[in-house]
Amino acid sequence: MRIDVVTIFPDYLAPLDLSLIGRARREGLLEVHVHDLRHWTHDRHRTVDDTPYGGGAGMVMRPEPWGEALDEVCGALPGRTPHLVVPGPGGDLFTQARARQMATEDDWLVFVCGRYEGIDERVHDEFSARYPLSVLSLGDYVLNGGEVAVLAMTEAIARLVPGVIGNVASLVEESHEDGLLEYPVYTKPQQWRGHEVPPVLLSGHHGQIARWRHEQQLERTAARRPDLLAGRGPQGD
């Protein structure tokens, strides 16, 4: 999978060199290119923003640098079509299902990182007419820009690309993969500061362990995220 990120803060994306994502890049499973939007400005101050038409607080990102940047970045692989992703609090919710869909169906993502009050809407109009384009939100809160969201989305998507995570079974038993939160996990020692490991986990009885874990998933989900259980039957399925 290829990922391009256009931003005015390329250094923000440095963590993409680390850990599993960094290794996936070195192994050639993932190709990441980070671009500085100011490369496509032409004035002495490398201006990317201006005051909003109609008035109001804050600044808006001007369309011209974005137009030139996306023309070049999206045209870099003739014959291939990128999926443009604009992170923003006004977008569709980015979920595990969405991450899986993108890991499966997309082989090229171009992330468009807005700052300030946002990007001139005509950039959206221009490029959504030329490419598939999604506005995606991490959740109902406001970040200062799209960069942190790109880190989160890239990690969520890239770890689902075949080969990026060695232990495939660990992907199946995670929170949200079956619509439930994950069950609690324990390791050695068996006693720690007076806290015991639940005895069923020491029983060696795989059927009972699986049942207990499923009950724990249901209890946790009911307590923390009852919205996820809506539409399920009384057994949680």
End-to-end Cα separation, the chain, in angstroms: 34
Decide whether 143 or 165 has the Cβ nearer to ligand ADE: 143
Written as one string, the DSSP assignment of 17-55 is GSHHHHHHHHTTS-EEEEEEGGGG--STT---EEPPTT-
Least distance from ligand ADE to the Cβ atom of residue 138, Å: 4
Backbone angles phi, psi at 123, to 5 degrees: -65, -45
Q: Residues in the site for ligand ADE, rule: CB under 6 A?
A: 87-89, 137-139, 141-143, 146, 149
**CA 165 to chain CA centroid, nearest Å:** 16
Find the shortest distance in angstroms from Cβ 91 to ligand ADE.
7
Rounded CA separation 65/49 (Å): 10
The owner of tokens 């500085």 is 36
Nearer to ligand ADE, 141 or 206 (CB): 141
Distance of closest approach, residue 102 Cβ to ligand ADE, in angstroms? 15
Residue 99 vs 180, nearer CB to ligand ADE? 99
Instruction: Please identify, using beta-carbon distances, which residue of 86 and 218 lies nearer to ligand ADE.
Output: 86
The pairs formed by 14-17 with CB atoms below 8 angstroms and a separation of 24 or more are 15/151, 16/151, 16/154
CB of 155 to ligand ADE, least distance (A): 14
**Cβ contact 39:69 at 8 Å:** yes
Indicate the residue among 52 and 91 with the shorter CB distance to ligand ADE: 91
User: For ligand ADE, which is the closer residue by CB, 75 or 139?
Assistant: 139
Q: Taking the complex as a whole, how short is the minimal distance between the CB of residue 233 and ligand ADE, in angstroms?
A: 33
Length of the chain: 237
**Least gap, CB of 146 to ligand ADE (angstroms):** 5
**Phi and psi for 236 in degrees, rounded to 5?**
80, 15
